[in-house]
Amino acid sequence: MFSVLSYGRLVARAVIGGLSQTDSRDYSLVTASCGFGKGILKKGMCYGDDACFIARHKSADVLGVADGVGGWRDYGVDPSQFSGTLMKTCERLVKEGRFVPSNPVGVLTSSYYELLQNKVPLLGSSTACIVVLDRQSHRLHTANLGDSGFLVVREGEVVHRSDEQQHYFNTPFQLSIAPPEAEGAVLSDSPDAADSSSFDVELGDIILTATDGLFDNMPDYMILQELKKLKNTNYESIQQTARSIAEQAHVLAYDPNYMSPFAQFACDNGLNVRGGKPDDITVLLSIVAEYTN
């Protein structure tokens, strides 16, 4: 006959054993992308001056977005070259296994310094956001430099989000490579300045990673309304929802009567602004699922 204490221990072991079995499953991200560029669409995962990547390694799923600074166009430089090369380099480093899942800043740093050491000079600036899911630990590790960012949604509510990094209104933190004669005159931040975070995720969590073209035109409540339409965790459903979100942001960006988050932020800084903010828009929409080979 078992004592109450012995019975309690058996129950505890059963519960712990069940949790252990649940925790032993690897997680992964099912991700779709969509976006709009203000000008000509680029090849690959580039929308205007925005760029993104989605990569897998045996230990982690990694994705990122970058927003090339359009001001370089005034100096004859294509802003998409910097953001696109930065994201392609991040993707290659991940696929080669040259990263630590718990250190997304390291991915950004290694990629940036490769660009600095290129034999062919590459000029430009870009914001960047890197998101890494460690499959075994079920932890999401993030690094955000500037005003791109991410949301984590659970049961219809935002449970985590990135913080914007601005030097002053409409001037985000950014990685830069300037010509020698302009060094010191061009705004440039270190990858180490990126805001980092780590937290546990659950099966079914939704992770939305995007450039500021989305967040400047759609407040959280609108994004959440669109995410409610996501009924399945298959790629096709995720792709459809990502497109719906990007399309709505694109329409609002060109609405002169809409009080966008960007316009509200401008008003808070003493500027009389109304309407959406025409901009490149990149959306990566992910769902945390059980990993399958």
pLDDT digits (tens, 9 = 90+) for 87-105: 999 999 999 999 999 999 9
Give the bridge partners for 124, in sequence order.
177
Query: For domain 25-290, is the CATH number 3.60.40.10?
Result: yes
The pTM assigned to this predicted structure is 0.90
Tokens standing for 173?
Answer: 């933190």
Give the pLDDT band (50/70/90) at residue 182.
Answer: confident
CA atoms of 26 and 186, how far apart (whole Å): 44
166-170: long-range contacts, CB 8 A cutoff, minimum separation 24 = 169/265, 169/266, 169/269, 169/271, 170/266
SS3 for 73? helix
Per-residue model confidence as pLDDT tens digits over 133-161: 999 999 999 999 999 999 999 999 999 99
